[in-house]
Chain A
C-alpha cells in the first residue's frame, strides 16, 4: 500500500511536469516549487546529521577539542554574506576555499594538459592518430588570432572549423540521446512501476 501511494505521488508529479509541454500551468509550477523545497528540506537535516554533529558538535562539546572552535568561527563568517556592512567578512572563508582550489592546479595541469599533450604527440601510425593530429593542429591554428584567417592559412583554419563542427555535432547527438533516455526512464516508471503494464 505504501509503495502504491509513493508511486501515485511520483506519477502525478511526473504528469504535472509533463503538462508544461502543452503550456505553462499551475500544476507544473506547483511540482517545480515542490522539487526545490523538498530538495532543500532533505539536504539540511542530512548535512546537519552528517557534518555538523560529527565534525563540530561532538568534537567540541563532547570530546573537548576546543581548537576546532577557530575553523568553526571562520566557517560561520559565511553567514555575513547576507549583510550589507559586514559582507566583507565572508571573504575569509572563501580565501581558505580558494587556497584548497590552488592545491589542485598542478594536478589539473597534469591530467588536463600534460597527459593530453603527451598523447597528442604520439607517432602518427594509424588513421585515428592522423585525424587527431590534423584536428589538433588546425584547431590550434584557428584560435591563433594574431594572423588574419586568409589565403592558405585560412584554408587550414577552415579545416579546424570542420573538426569543431564534427565535435559539436557529436556532443549534440549525445545530448539528444540523453534527453530521450530521460523520457524513456519516466515512461518506464509510468507504464511499469505505476500502471504495471511492463514486467
Chain B
C-alpha cells in the first residue's frame, strides 16, 4: 500500500490527536497576533458607545444560550459589559430560558469584578430569568413601559422603584437590544421589537448562526453583529483601544476612530494594556487580565487549527486525485 493510500485510510483518531495538539500548543505557548476589526463589530461598538454617559439611553442584553456555546458567546458578553461599565452606559440583562440564568449572572459578576463602584439597580440591572411563555407579553409590553412589562428584577425588587429607571420608559430609551444566541432567537427580537416598535437590534451569535443572520445585517435590520469567537476577539480589541484607553488627554476612554482601529493593535501577551501603531508604542498601567483577552488568545489556536484543516483538505484531495484511477489494493 502506498503512502497516499495509507493516508486515505488513516484512523480518524489520529486526526483528533493532531487537532487537539494544534489547539493545546498555541494555548500553552501563546503569541501576539493581530486582530482585524470588521464593520459589523465596529458598527455595534459605535452604537453602544453613542449611549455613553446618557441618562435616557440604555442597552438590553438578552441571553438566549446554554453552557454548550459559552466558549464563543461568553467572551463577547464580558466585552460588551466591560464596554458599558467603562463608558458609564446603563445596561439591563434578561433571559427566557432556565440554562441562561446562571450564565447571565456569571457574565455580570466576571465583568463587574474590576469596577467596585458599580451598583445594581443604579448602573446596571439584571431582570433575571423570565419564563418563555412571557416572552411576547414582555417584549411587546416593553414597547410601552419597561417597568410595567418586566415588573421585578432578579432580586425580586420592583423595577419602577430602581434608580436606573430614571429616564428609561420604553424602546425609545432602551434603544438597543443585543441578543446572544446559539439559535434563531435574534429573529424574534427583530420581528417583535424592531418591526413593531423600531427598536435597534444587534446580535452576538455563534459562528454556526452567523450565515443565517447576514441577510438581516445587510438589510439594516441588525445594527451590528458579533460572529463567534472572531467577533468576540474583535470586540475585545475595540474595548481595549477605545473604551478602556486611559491617558492624560483621555482619562475615561476615547471616541471611536476607523483610522486608529486600523492602525493600532494590542499585544495580548502583555499583562498591561499597551498599544502599537505607526506612531510608536504607548504603554499604560491598565491591567489586561486573561478574561479580557480570552477570545484573542483563543483565536491564536483557532488560526492554527484552520491552517491544519486546510492542509488536511488539500492533502486529502491530492491523495484522492492521485489514487482514483488506481485499483484499490486493500480490497
Minimum C-beta distance from B74 to chain A (A):
8
Question: Given A174-B207, A176-B309, A187-B23 in contact, is the A182-B28 Cβ separation under 8 Å?
Answer: no
B219 to A, closest residue via Cβ: A119
Contact A181 B27 (CB under 8 A): no
Q: A181: which of B218, B220, B229 is its contact (CB, 8 Å)?
A: B229
Within the complex, which residue of B27, B30, B294 is in contact with A187, where a contact is CB–CB below 8 Å? B27
Whether B211 contacts A171 by the Cβ 8 Å rule is yes
Chain B 60-80 interface 0/1 with A at a Cβ cutoff of 8 Å (1 = within): 000000001111101000000
If A100-B136, A177-B306, A178-B72 touch, whether A107 touches B191 (CB-CB below 8 Å) is: yes
Residue pair A183, B19 in contact (C-beta under 8 Å): yes
- Whole-angstrom CA separation of A43 from B27 in the bound complex: 34
Determine if B207 and A184 form an interchain contact, defined as CB atoms under 8 angstroms apart.
Answer: no
> A72 at interface (Cβ–Cβ under 8 A)?
no
A108 touches B191 (CB 8 A): yes
Query: Mostly helix, strand, loop or mixed at chain A's interface?
Result: helix
Within 8 A of B (CB), among A92-129: 100, 103-104, 107-108, 110-112, 115-116, 118-119
* Contact partners of B71 in chain A: CB under 8 A: 181-182, 184-186, 188
A170 contacts the other chain (Cβ, under 8 Å)?
A: yes
Q: Are A188 and B306 neighbours in the complex by a CB distance under 8 Å?
A: no
Whether A170 contacts B298 by the Cβ 8 Å rule is: no
Residues 204-221 of B, flagged 1 when their CB comes within 8 A of A and 0 if not, give 001110110001101111
- CB contact under 8 A between A50 and B27, given known A21-B13, A199-B290: no
Given contacts A43-B99, A51-B131, A108-B191, contact A177 B229 (CB under 8 A): yes
CB pair B98 A46 closer than 8 Å? yes
Given the complex of chains A and B, what is the CA–CA distance between A39 and B208 in angstroms?
A: 23
Q: A110-B195, A167-B211 are in contact. Are A188 and B230 (CB under 8 A)?
A: no
Interface-side segment among A79-87, A148-156, A190-198: A190-198
**In the complex, chain B residues whose CB is within 8 Å of the CB of A110:** 195
Q: Could you mark each residue 293-309 of chain B with 1 if its beta carbon is under 8 Å from any beta carbon of chain A, else 0?
A: 01001100110011001
Residue A175 lies at the interface, judged by CB distance under 8 Å to chain B: yes
B232 and chain A: residue at smallest CB distance: A181
Cβ contact within 8 Å between B28 and A116 = no
| Contact of B131 with A50 in the complex, beta carbons under 8 Å | yes
SS class, residues of chain B in contact with chain A: helix
How far is A197 from B28 in the complex, measured between Cα atoms in Å?
Answer: 7
Interface presence of A145 (CB below 8 A): no
Cβ of B194 within 8 Å of any chain A Cβ, yes or no, is yes
Complex CA gap A199/B289 in Å reads 8
The answer, yes or no, to whether A22 is at the interface (CB within 8 Å) is: yes
Q: Which residues of B contact A111 (CB under 8 A)?
A: 187, 190-191, 194-195, 216, 221
A188 and B27 CA atoms in complex are apart in Å by 7
| Binary contact track B276-315/A, C-beta < 8 Å → 1, others 0 | 0000000000000010001001100110011001000000
Pick the residue among B28, B133, B207, B309 that contacts A198 (CB under 8 A).
B28
User: Are A181 and B228 also in contact (CB < 8 A) when A104-B192, A174-B208 are?
Assistant: yes
Contacts of B192 in A (CB 8 A): 104, 107
- Contact (Cβ within 8 A) A174 B98: no
B196 is an interface residue with CB less than 8 A from chain A: yes
Interface residue? A2 (CB, 8 A): no
User: Among residues 22 to 68 in chain A, which have CB atoms less than 8 Å away from a CB atom of chain B?
Assistant: 22, 39, 42-43, 46-47, 50-51, 54-55
A-B contacts, 25 of them at CB < 8 A, read: A46-B129, A55-B131, A100-B136, A103-B136, A107-B191, A111-B187, A111-B191, A111-B216, A118-B219, A119-B219, A174-B208, A174-B227, A175-B207, A175-B208, A178-B207, A181-B207, A181-B228, A184-B27, A184-B305, A187-B23, A187-B301, A188-B71, A188-B298, A191-B24, A198-B290
Sample of 4 further A-B pairs with CB below 8 A, known A171-B211, A197-B28 = A178-B207, A182-B71, A185-B71, A198-B28
**What residues of chain B have their CB less than 8 Å away from a CB belonging to chain A?**
13, 16, 19-20, 23-24, 27-28, 30, 68-72, 74, 98-99, 101, 128-131, 133-134, 136, 152, 187, 190-192, 194-196, 206-208, 210-211, 215-216, 218-221, 227-230, 290, 294, 297-298, 301-302, 305-306, 309
